[in-house]
Amino acid sequence: MSEKNQKLECEKCKKEFLVIEQESNFYKRKGLPLPSICSECRRERRNNLRNKKQLFERTCDKCGTNLKSTYKKNSKFTVYCEKCYFDYMGGSETL
């Protein structure tokens, strides 16, 4: 390990992580502090800020087949099953 690389302990999970010289130089150029949590915990934190996809029980608006959709039952959007969607689009291919 180069003397310019730094081993730090993650404040969240307590695992040791490495900040390489190029990373350290980047933070210095941008006037930022070195990270206090490891990359895995930072990724987890970012993912927790994202909206989670939620699936709702629906029926096809054309044939009544049960399906799951990202649109709630009372949404204004038309929802088709795969077959009705391809019929509507003018093709017979399946996903």
* Domains of the chain, residue spans: 6-49, 56-89
What is the DSSP secondary structure assignment for residue 34, as one 8-state letter? P
What pLDDT sits at residue 48? Answer: 86
What pLDDT sits at residue 19? Answer: 95
- Interatomic CA distance for residues 1 and 15, integer angstroms: 18
What pLDDT sits at residue 86? Answer: 92
Say which residue the tokens 């077959």 belong to.
83
Taking only the tens of pLDDT, the chain with its 95 residues reads 556 899 999 999 999 999 999 999 999 999 999 999 999 999 999 988 887 788 999 999 999 999 999 999 999 999 999 999 999 888 655 54
Secondary structure of 5-50 as H, E, C letters = CEEEECCCCCCEEEECHHHHHHHHHHCCCCCCCCHHHHHHHHHHHC
- Interatomic CA distance for residues 2 and 21, integer angstroms: 8
Q: Supply φ then ψ for residue 13, to 5 degrees.
A: -100, -10
